Amino acid sequence: MAGGARGIQSIEISGRILQALVDAAAPMMLKDLGQAADLPPAQCHAYLTSLRHVGLVHQEPHSGLYSMGPFAMRLGIGWLRSSPLAAAAIGATRALTQELGIMSLVAVWGRHGPAIVHINTGIAPLALNLRQGTLYSVTGTATGRVFAAFDPRPEVTQQIAVNLGADGDSRALGSHMTRDSFERQVAEARACGYATARGAPIPDINAVSVPVHDADGTFAMAISLIGRTAELSVEDDSAAVQALLDTARAITRAVPQGNGASARTA
């Protein structure tokens, strides 16, 4: 179809509303959502009603705030499954969790940082507020520091500056770090090929994260293990760390050259 072909305006307006919710990465009031989508509140409300009916938008019953709905998540999962590299990562981390009994996850770059796109709960589920769509700090988490160390895109550098700022980024999970500490940990990640977190940002919880590259050598995503400190060692000689590194290499080998690049951004 030609680039200037006529589209359906109502769908394009709905897209503006959904884009505003994605950009906000947090529940929104009607007036704020209308302003972000450049719509009068009454018109925005009419579109939101239809978007709620199909599950693309959710409205909190008590607060009235709007957020992305369950069907939007299913669309995202469908997109992931269409990416050979992401599909390989989901299958490989699922097998790793079954082998080790430890939570694993897959994260790709979102609008404002690394976002979880798949989680495998361990044998003993952790009481953590992690779910598909959770946004990680680039600087204050092991997963985020993998992006900082191995993803050269300018938007990663821009988000690092936000996370290291005085106010940080309230949308993202992670500890606030000094620049010196962050740069030291990124250098360590580049040297050893993975990033770790010991009891922070969540007390008594360790994490290790490694990069996944496509067959062309381009950084695509991070895969991570998360577990209690007594169950997940993140030292150099840890069997779990080695298993995660092996899993990342296996994911790359599983996807033919040129078939995995679309998994880089959520």
pLDDT value of position 265: 62
Task: Give the separation between CA 21 and CA 227, rounded to whole angstroms.
Answer: 31
pLDDT value of position 26: 81
Q: What is the mean predicted confidence (pLDDT) over 235-246?
A: 96
Question: Quick one: pLDDT band at residue 1, thresholds 50, 70, 90?
Answer: very low
Which residues sit opposite 135 in a β-bridge?
115
Query: What are the structural domains of the chain?
Result: 9-68 (1.10.10.10), 74-264 (3.30.450.40)
pLDDT value of position 104: 97
For residue range 182-205, list pLDDT tens digits in order: 999 999 999 999 999 999 888 899
122 within 8 A of 103, measured Cβ to Cβ: yes
Tokens of 135: 């946004």
Count of Cβ atoms closer than 10 Å to residue 141 Cβ: 30
Q: What is the mean predicted confidence (pLDDT) over 169-176?
A: 78
Q: Which residue has the higher pLDDT, 81 or 8?
A: 8
pLDDT value of position 87: 92
Tell me the pTM.
0.79
pLDDT value of position 266: 57
Mean pLDDT score of the chain: 90
Does the structure show a pLDDT above 70 at 106? yes
Task: Give the separation between CA 106 and CA 146, rounded to whole angstroms.
Answer: 12
